Structure 1
Amino acid sequence: METIAKGKINIGLMIPYKREDGLHEIRSVFVPISFGDPMKIQITANTNSPDSEIHLTSENYLHGYRHSKFEEVSERGDFTRNLLYKAFQKISAHLREPVSISIYLKKYLPPEGGIGGGSSNAGLFLKEIFPWTQLSKEEEISLAKSVGADVPFFLQSSPCFVSGIGEVLEPITVSQGTGILAIPPFGLSTASMYAGLQKSLQKPYGSQVWKSLAEDLIRSLQVGDWAYLQNRLENEFEKIAFQTQPLLKELKLGFYESGAVYASLSGSGSCFYGIYPSDRERDEALSIVSNRFPDMEFRTFSF
């Protein structure tokens, strides 16, 4: 099987409270995008051993410190720290028979970017190996969640309204779109971003305000009314990101000044994106923002 482990963008991200288990409750819309990591996965019965085994061959196309960061968890470093290996460890006990797994990966999705990274790789791998098990859909989601909070989303193929810590998924329709992704030369630590929110510890509760609000927002997503969504679906992490890295605030302004109809931080960052009315306007904007922010890496995407 050869395909692309797609990245994702967050359209809106609210963190209503910190849960009793120490994790944070979220409300967001996750949208898979065309930009991602090409992966080739081969799974065969392992007739030569009673144990399953996994082998990774990767090409690292990341830049700056992220290149070294991936090397540390690639097959050239300590592969046991890679989410692919952690997913393999979790699934091994559930396989109907020992298997030999070979994965070929071209790495473009940046770590510490808020667009999926390793979670996308792990999700695609699990999606391909689940047929070798007898797990129920609920058990598959539970196992994916144990690998990483975002991993359950990458078992899906459609945009989702996301709650819980990322494992409660409701597929929704989002109008087709096109955009530019900015990959800054710095990352933002997910742990420090959550700590910066200083959310109080609360027992779980249903967010009826978000639910009632979501009906209008989801209708706007379905028709691509980005102007309506501009000040209504916001990423709560932006206020911390702008304090930590003021360049990101300037980048958001740069996206809007170049014609974006919606711009936002993705996840806890540091990647930022702008959505444009058409491919032509996106391509014109790409030249503008590339010249204005020469230290940024920019990628176009669609959804």
Structure 2
Amino acid sequence: MRRAPAPAKINLSLVVGPLRDDGKHEVATVLQRVDLGDCVSLSAAPVLDVVGFDGDTIVRAALAALARRAGVEPRWLARIAKAIPVAAGLGGGSSDAATALRLANDMLPEPLAVDDLAAVAAEIGADVPFFLRPGPQLGTADGTVLAPLDLPQDYWVVLVLPDGAVKASTADVYRRFDERDGMRGFEERRAALVDALAAARRARDLATLPGNDLASSPLAGALLEHGAFRADVSGAGPSVYGLFLEQRRAEAAARTLRTVGRTWVTAPFRDG
């Protein structure tokens, strides 16, 4: 059996533009993994099966797609131990799928090349290729074109999942974005993102990144009031994150905000 962590992610910035010819939106997003994660185990099996999380579809789809691309039968048993909240904007399903892909690929007699594995991941979901790469990444085009970023990692992250929050479908979130003509000024916001990334030397510099074009939350303001130097919604939500320079302030904020939802204190995920 092989086992590996499947870390969550936050979007440190999410700039969204017009609808593309392929029906997806142009985006520019800064993706950062954090040290809250699921665990995925993989072993050989007579047939493909996924256990541990009854709601899974993405891990099964990813492994089936890998088998088709590699020309083999999908004979794996995947076990998922969940810690990332489901449908929270933290990429748990995508991370599980990427981890399962990486483990299964390593078990193949002839593993796929890095680019071929990334192509399989992109078929499954826009965030899945990101989880195959180390460190923070800038995602462009539909989010699957990735470039590594050298960003500060010396901060703490408070995650808040509001009680009773229900994640809207991605299609509905983008539909509302289009209805309010959210794409206006995309080129300027994307340029501001590039400039802010180039100037980021200290953790506090991440506060200058453009915010989330898709979603907002009053909890971001609450996190700022409790000492965060940056706070925003992750992805399409509903989870909100705050970045803190000091662990004690992060922990104090998390304790206070437990009255409104589940909270976690974590940090950027370090490979190895």
- Does the 8 Å contact 1:56/1:102 carry over to 2? yes
Residues matched between the structures, number? 258
Deviations 1:120-173 (A, max 9, x none): 110111112223244333322221111111111111121101111121000112
Please, which of 159, 165, 169 is the counterpart of residue 181 of structure 1?
159
Q: What is the match of residue 299 of structure 1? A: 264
Is 2:258 the counterpart of 1:290?
A: yes
SS in 2 for 1:198: helix
Residue 225 of structure 1 aligns to a residue in which SS?
helix
Aligned 1:210-249 pairs, distance under 5 A: 210-211=190-191, 213-220=193-200, 222-226=201-205, 229-230=206-207, 232-238=209-215, 241=216, 248-249=217-218
Partners of 2:69 and 2:120 within 8 A in 1: no
Cα distance, 1:265 vs. partner?
Answer: 0.3
How far apart, CA to CA, are the structure 2 residues paired with 1:117 and 1:278?
26
Give me the TM-score of the superposition, normalised by structure 2. Answer: 0.86
Aligned counterparts of 1:122 and 1:191: Cα–Cα separation in 2: 21
- Partner Cα separation in structure 1 for residue 15 and residue 123 of structure 2: 22
Match of 1:167 in 2: 144
Structure 2 residues not aligned, in runs of 5+: none
SS at match of 2:249: helix
SS in 2 for 1:135: coil
Q: Give the fraction of aligned pairs with identical amino acids, expressed as a percent.
A: 24
**Does the CA contact (< 8 Å) of 2:40 and 2:100 recur in 1?**
no
Alignment of 1:80-95 (within 5 A): 82-95=57-70
Q: Which runs of 4+ in 1 moved over 4 A?
A: 96-99, 206-209
Alignment of 1:25-40 (within 5 A): 25-40=26-41
Superimposed CA distance per residue, residues 176-223 of structure 1 (whole angstroms, 9 cap, x where no aligned partner): 2211101123222211110011177x9xxx958735751432431x42
Find 1:146's aligned residue among 123, 143, 159. 123
Supply the distance in 2 between the matched residues of 1:144 and 1:104 (Cα, whole angstroms).
19
RMSD over aligned Cα atoms: 2.4
Tell me, yes or no, if the aligned pair for 1:30 and 1:160 is still in contact at 8 Å.
Answer: yes
Q: Which amino acid aligns with 1:179?
A: V
Q: What SS is found at the alignment partner of 1:10?
A: strand
Q: Deviations over 1:104-124 (max 9, x none)?
A: 211122332111021111011
Q: CA deviation at 1:38?
A: 1.7
Within 1, Cα distance between the matches of 2:78 and 2:8? 18
Q: Distance in 2 between matches of 1:157 and 1:31?
A: 10
Unaligned runs of 5+ in 1: 61-70, 75-81, 242-247
Contact 1:25/1:165 (8 A) holds in 2: yes
Deviations 1:48-75, CA, capped at 9 Å, x for gaps: x6xxx222221x6xxxxxxxxxx4x34x
| Cα gap change, 1:183 to 1:209, in 2 (>3 Å) | closer
Alpha-carbon shift at residue 96 of structure 1 (Å): 6.1
Quick one: structure 1 residues 218 and 113, their matched pair in 2 at CA, closer, same or farther if it must change by over 3 Å? farther
Alignment of 1:1-303 (within 5 A): 1-42=2-43, 44=44, 53-58=47-52, 71=54, 73-74=55-56, 82-95=57-70, 97-98=72-73, 100-131=75-106, 132=108, 133-176=110-153, 177-184=155-162, 185-186=164-165, 187-198=167-178, 210-211=190-191, 213-220=193-200, 222-226=201-205, 229-230=206-207, 232-238=209-215, 241=216, 248-249=217-218, 251-291=219-259, 293=260, 296-303=261-268
8 Å CA contact 1:87–1:126 kept in 2: the answer is yes
Shift of 1:83: 0.3
Q: 1:230 to 1:156 in 2, by over 3 A?
A: same
Secondary structure, counterpart of 2:48 in structure 1: strand
Aligned twin of 1:245: none
- Point out the structure with max Rg over C-alpha: 1
User: 2:27·2:142 contact (CA, 8 Å) conserved in 1?
Assistant: yes
Aligned in 2, Cα 1:118/1:129: closer, same or farther, shift over 3 Å?
same
Q: Work out the CA distance in 2 between the residues paired with 1:19 and 1:230.
A: 29
CA distance change for structure 1 residues 38 and 289 in 2, over 3 Å: closer, same or farther? Answer: same
Contact 2:12–2:209 (8 Å) recurs in 1: no
Distance 1:211 1:142, change over 3 A: farther
TM-score w.r.t. structure 1 length? Answer: 0.77
